[in-house]
Amino acid sequence: MAQGLEGLVESVHSSSSHTFSKHSQPSLRLLEGLGAEGDAHMGVTVKHRSRVAQDPTQPNLRQIHLIQAELHQELNRKGFRVKAGDMGENITTRGLDLLSLPVGARLHLGSEAVVEVTGLRNPCAQLEQFQQGLMQAVLDRDAEGHLVRKAGIMGIVLLGGEVRPKDLIRVELPAGPHRRLERV
């Protein structure tokens, strides 16, 4: 399961429109049950265009998108030019293996905010439009041959609060048995 149950917020991002990349901010206010204040994906029901087209009444399990900075480093080593916020995340983390967290893990961000992990971000064609080959670069296979989606995790805001770069992230694991993350 999750190695190292603490990490840091490296940077925070938002965009009021449905742009692929999000803009760096000095802080991000998370609103309970909604997401990041002023962000296009904030809301009780789904805001992602493809999901709205399917059923606009679905609960928004993708209020907050997190990516670990280590993914950006890996992609840059492979020749891509990716920096924090470029892949649409609200929160870029460091030192925490987000992909190994189970469904229901709670991320305590700074002194107030709590985000509950709901699942994996499913890489989409926008990655390919951003940089050719990027979509394939964020997909991998584990030792058993299962598909690994590395484009970050999604969550909902349980407790609101201000989140800033250098804030500590503390993980609270749910009672077992733990469920592996799946795309949401």
Please tell me the pTM assigned to this model. Answer: 0.95
Whole-number Cα distances in Å, 13 to 8, 10, 59: 15, 10, 22
Q: Is residue 74 part of a domain?
A: yes
pLDDT for residue 1 is more than 80: no
In a domain, 1, yes or no: no
Residue 46, in any domain of the structure: yes
Handedness of CA 112, 113, 116, 121 (dihedral sign): negative
Q: Which two tokens stand for residue 27?
A: 């802080």
Residue 179 has what DSSP assignment? Answer: P
Question: Distance between CA 69 and CA 73 in Å, rounded?
Answer: 7
Whether 66 is in a domain gets the answer yes
Total number of domains constituting the chain: 1
DSSP state of 54: H
pLDDT of residue 3: 44
- Are the C-beta atoms of residues 1 and 69 closer than 8 Å to each other? no
Task: Give the CATH number of the domain where residue 55 resides.
Answer: 2.40.33.20
Tens of pLDDT, residue by residue over 28-74, are 999 999 999 999 999 999 988 788 888 999 999 999 999 999 999 99
Other C-beta atoms closer than 10 Å to the C-beta of 36 total 25
Tokens of 154: 């999604």
Is the pLDDT reported for residue 130 higher than 50? yes
- State the Cα–Cα distance between residues 129 and 42, nearest whole angstrom: 24
> Residue 102: exposed, middle, or buried by beta-carbon count in 10 A (0-12, 13-18, 19+)?
middle
| Banded model confidence at residue 4, pLDDT cuts 50, 70, 90 | low
- Find the domain containing 87 and state its range: 6-172
Report yes or no on 180 lying in a domain.
no
Phi-psi region of 110 (alpha: psi -120 to 50; beta: other; left: phi over 0): left
Q: What's the token pair of residue 137?
A: 């670069």
Q: Which tens digit of pLDDT belongs to each residue from 138-171? A: 999 989 998 999 999 999 999 999 999 999 999 9
Query: Which amino acid is located at 138 in the chain?
Result: V
pLDDT at residue 129, as a whole number: 92
Amino acid letter for position 36: A
Report if residue 107 sits inside a domain.
yes
- Is residue 184 one of the residues assigned to a domain? no
Give domain status of residue 179, yes or no: no
